[in-house]
């Protein structure tokens, strides 16, 4: 029997390996690609952009198309490591994603091929309006109000997409007034000169029961000069302050005992050069009853929704500064009422003191300051006890 030498074994092995083209398998690419939406996901809410990410490499191509063949635009960022859509995803649409990346050695990754479909809403909701409106200048007591086109049932989901961004650091909170209105007020009055940006990013957000937001909105407003008024029902005075200093003390007449002007912080929110006032519109005397009135009065500043105005009443000038004879309004003389009308800003606070009937959240269009701040913050859907 013939025994091979060690040299023969080595040579034979080399020859056999050469004949079989014996080489190490190619090293796979270190790069990989993922999508922010999993493959075959359904009922996806289109509230966020689609993001494609390269790991251990950079993207070389990303193509996103709809079933109809339409290409969705996007942009690269983070040095080519991320790609995101630049237009919102649409409702009720199927998307196909194809993407490749390469590692530092220019080796291509395995391709990403995935599909997903977005939700078709049961119904839709929008921000119907905001107050203040875009570009307004308002007083230091004006809260932010956001009104929705239909009731919101998932308040937390909506509130997470709302923001109030003051240019001056300002503590404050959202508070839901109803399913169709949420307010935001600062803990204390705004600082004059603050610019406030309000954003509602509701596109694609499920507001409850499959009702989806269809728009993003943004507004901004300015906090004007610090102007306030204090009405004292016992001294029959109406004192106006600017930047913390009293500038005028006006004689006034307040509500008689049966119809007292309510105590607390009111907010000026409407101005009328003249307005019709009827006692039966706010729960006062009805037509045919003693005390009923129906008259047009000039220079009226509405401070609540329960019939309270600061307005001119020439018929009570003799009682102004002496006695309270109105049905709850603050009566001023023609000269003083015109001066205050021209002076006041929408959003200026009007605090009534000395009355034994307090203003309540049920009484005003802007009741925010009737609610202690510790209670106000509990009206946020995202409130967390400390």
How much is the average pLDDT of 35-49? Answer: 96
The C-alpha atoms of residue 255 and residue 326 are separated, in whole angstroms, by: 4
- Give the catalytic positions in this structure: 311, 329
How far the first Cα of the chain sits from its last, in Å, is 91
Please say if the pLDDT value at position 171 is more than 80: yes
Element (H, E) at 158: helix 155-159
The predicted pLDDT at position 2 comes to 47
Strands of 233-320, DSSP E = 237-242, 245-251, 264-267, 270-278, 294-302, 309-312
The predicted pLDDT at position 11 comes to 43
Q: Taking CA 9 as the corner, what is the angle to CA 6 and CA 13, rounded to the nearest 5 degrees?
A: 145
Cβ-based neighbours of 20, under 8 Å, separated by 6 or more: none
The C-alpha atoms of residue 186 and residue 173 are separated, in whole angstroms, by: 7
Please say if the pLDDT value at position 87 is more than 90: yes
Structure pTM?
0.85
The C-alpha atoms of residue 191 and residue 170 are separated, in whole angstroms, by: 8
Q: Which domains does the chain have, with CATH numbers?
A: 32-117 (2.60.40.3780), 123-224+373-379 (2.60.40.3710), 227-353 (2.40.440.10)
Contact 141, 349 (CB under 8 A): yes
The C-alpha atoms of residue 63 and residue 113 are separated, in whole angstroms, by: 10
Give per-residue pLDDT as tens, 264-308: 999 999 999 977 766 666 566 777 666 666 676 889 999 998 889
Please say if the pLDDT value at position 14 is more than 90: no
Give per-residue pLDDT as tens, 92-133: 999 999 999 999 999 999 999 999 999 999 999 999 999 999
């Amino acid at each position: 029997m013939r025994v091979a030498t060690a040299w023969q074994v080595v040579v034979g092995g080399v020859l056999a390996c050469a004949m079989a083209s014996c080489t190490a398998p190619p090293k796979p690419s270190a790069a990989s690609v993922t999508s922010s939406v999993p493959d075959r996901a359904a009922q996806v809410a289109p509230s966020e952009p689609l993001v494609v990410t390269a790991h251990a490499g950079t993207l070389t191509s990303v193509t996103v198309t709809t079933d109809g063949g339409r290409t969705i635009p996007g942009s690269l960022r983070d040095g080519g490591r991320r790609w995101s859509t630049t237009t919102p995803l649409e409702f009720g649409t199927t998307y196909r994603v194809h993407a490749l990346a390469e590692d530092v050695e220019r080796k291509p990754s395995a391709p990403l091929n995935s599909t997903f479909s977005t939700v078709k809403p049961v119904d839709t909701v929008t921000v119907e309006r905001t107050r203040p409106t875009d570009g307004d200048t308002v007083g230091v007591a004006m809260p932010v109000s956001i009104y929705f086109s239909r009731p919101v049932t998932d308040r937390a989901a909506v509130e997470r997409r709302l923001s109030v961004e003051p240019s001056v650091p300002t503590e404050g909170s959202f508070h839901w007034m109803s399913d169709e209105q949420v307010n935001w007020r600062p803990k204390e009055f705004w600082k004059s000169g603050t610019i406030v940006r309000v954003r509602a990013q509701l596109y694609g957000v499920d507001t409850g029961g499959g009702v989806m937001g269809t728009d993003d909105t943004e507004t901004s407003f300015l906090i004007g000069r610090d102007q306030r008024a204090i009405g004292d029902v016992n001294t029959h005075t109406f004192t106006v302050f600017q930047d913390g200093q009293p500038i005028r003390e006006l004689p006034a007449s307040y509500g008689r005992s049966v119809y007292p002007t309510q105590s607390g912080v009111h907010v000026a929110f409407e101005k009328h050069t003249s307005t019709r006032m009827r006692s039966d519109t706010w729960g006062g005397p009805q037509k045919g009853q003693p005390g009923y009135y129906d008259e047009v009065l000039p220079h009226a500043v509405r401070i609540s929704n329960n019939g309270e105005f600061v307005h001119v009443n020439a018929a009570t000038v003799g009682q102004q500064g002496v006695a309270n004879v109105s049905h709850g309004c603050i009566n001023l003389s023609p000269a003083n009422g015109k001066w205050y009308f021209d002076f006041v800003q929408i959003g200026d606070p009007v605090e009534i003191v000395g009355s034994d009937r307090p203003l309540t959240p049920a009484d005003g269009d802007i009741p925010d300051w009737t609610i202690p701040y510790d209670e106000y913050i509990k009206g946020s859907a995202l409130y967390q006890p400390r």
